[in-house]
Amino acid sequence: MKRSIWLAGLMMLTLTVEAGAAIYSYRDEHGRLFLTDSPPNRNYKIVVTSRKEREGPDSPTQATFAVSAQASAQKFMLPNDETYSRYINEAAKTHDLDPYLIKSVIKVESDFDPTVRSSKGAQGLMQLIPSTARLVGCSDAYDPRQNILGGANYLRMMLKRFDGKLDYALAAYNAGPGNVEKYQGIPPFRETQNYVRKVKHYYKQYAVNPALAKTEVRKAGKKSRVIPVVHSDLSKRLAKAYELFNNSDIEGATEAYRQILNIYPTNTQALYNLACLLDMERCYEEAIDVYNAALKQDPYLDKALYNLAVIYERLGMHKEAIDTWKHYVTVAKDEEKIVMAERFMRELRDYAALN
C-alpha cells in the first residue's frame, strides 16, 4: 500500500513539475530510486537537466484509446498493423499503388492515429494539410477512409509529377513538390531526409517481398497485392495485453507482453510496450535491455530512443544519454523534435562541463 502511494506521488510529480525544471535523484539503502524537482537534502543529485515526459505504450487499436490533452508534446504513438487494412487496400486499388507503400507512409506520418494534428496543421492518418485535403476531395481529414483515399491520391500525384521516382515523391509528400523541384531532388532538410529514409525502411519491413520495394513506382505499384484484413493471433494477443494496461492492470499487462514475446520474440510492439511498463515501474536496468531489443528490430523507433535517453539521464548516465539523443536526431521526422533533442544534448554537455 505504501509503495502504491509513493508511486502515485511520483506520477503526480511527473505531471505537475514545470517543463524547465531539473530533476534530482536519490537511491536509498534499499536500492529504491527517488526522483524530485525539490530535493529535501544534499543527498539528492541532479540527473535530468530538464523535465521530459516518457512516451506511452503502443495501442493495438485506435477505437478505445484517446490521448489526453494534458499529455506530453510527444504524443503517444498508436501503431496498428491491421486496423485500417481494408481502407488501405481500397486506396491502393483505386490509385494503383502498392498497399504496403501506403501503409508505410501512414506509419511514419501518424503512427496509425487518425486523431493526430501536427503543429503545422496537418491532420489525420496521412497528415493532410487543409489545402491538400481540398485538392484531393477529402472533406473530413479525421475520417480514416477519406484520409487514406485522399493521401493515396496525393501520393500518386507526386509519383506522376516526378516520373515514378519514389524518393522524390516521398520528399514532395513531406516538404512539398516545389522544394523538390527547387533542389532538383530531396531537399537538404533534415526532417525530409529522415522522412524518406523512414518510409523506405518501413516499406521494406512491411512488404511481403522486400525486393519489390524499389525506387520505381512501376515496380512498387502492384494492384494484385493486398494486405491481410483478418486479425492474426498476434494481433489479438496484443489487443488483450493493451486492454489490461488500459484497465490499470500493470502486472497483468507486463505478464501478457512477456507471454507474447515467448511466442513472438522479435515483435517490436510487444518489446516496446514491455519496456514502457518496466520503465513506468522503475525497473530501469531491464527496461534499457528491452528498449535496446526493440531498437535492434526497428532502429527507426524514435520513441524508444526518446525513452531510453530519458532513462539514461535519470540514472546519471549522461554519455549514453547524449549518444542516444544523437541517434534520435537521425530518425526523428519532425524538425521541432530534432531541435529539441539537440537542446537536450547541449544541456547535458554544459552540465558535464561544470561537474
Residues of the chain with CATH 1.25.40.10: 233-353
Residues of the chain with CATH 1.10.530.10: 85-220
| Res 44: pLDDT | 74
Pick out the chain residues at pLDDT < 50.
1-20, 61-79, 209-223
Nearest-10 crossing angle of helices 302-314, 335-353? 20
Burial of 38 (0-12, 13-18, 19+ CB in 10 A): exposed
| Res 216: pLDDT | 44
Model pLDDT for residues 166-225, shown as the tens digit of each residue = 999 999 999 999 999 999 999 999 999 999 999 999 999 888 544 444 444 444 444 457
Model pLDDT for residues 107-138, shown as the tens digit of each residue = 999 888 899 998 889 999 999 999 999 999 99
CATH ID of 233-353, from 3.40.50.300, 3.40.640.10, 3.10.20.340, 1.25.40.10? 1.25.40.10
Joined grid coordinates for residue 178: 516545389
DSSP string, 265-292: TT-HHHHHHHHHHHHHTT-HHHHHHHHH
Active-site residue set: 109
**Class of domain 85-220 as given by CATH:** mainly alpha
| Res 251: pLDDT | 96
> Which of 146, 163, 172 lies closest to 91 in space, CA to CA?
146
Q: What's the first-to-final CA gap in the chain, in angstroms?
A: 38
Burial of 57 (0-12, 13-18, 19+ CB in 10 A): buried
C-alpha to C-alpha distance for 55 and 79, rounded to whole angstroms? 13
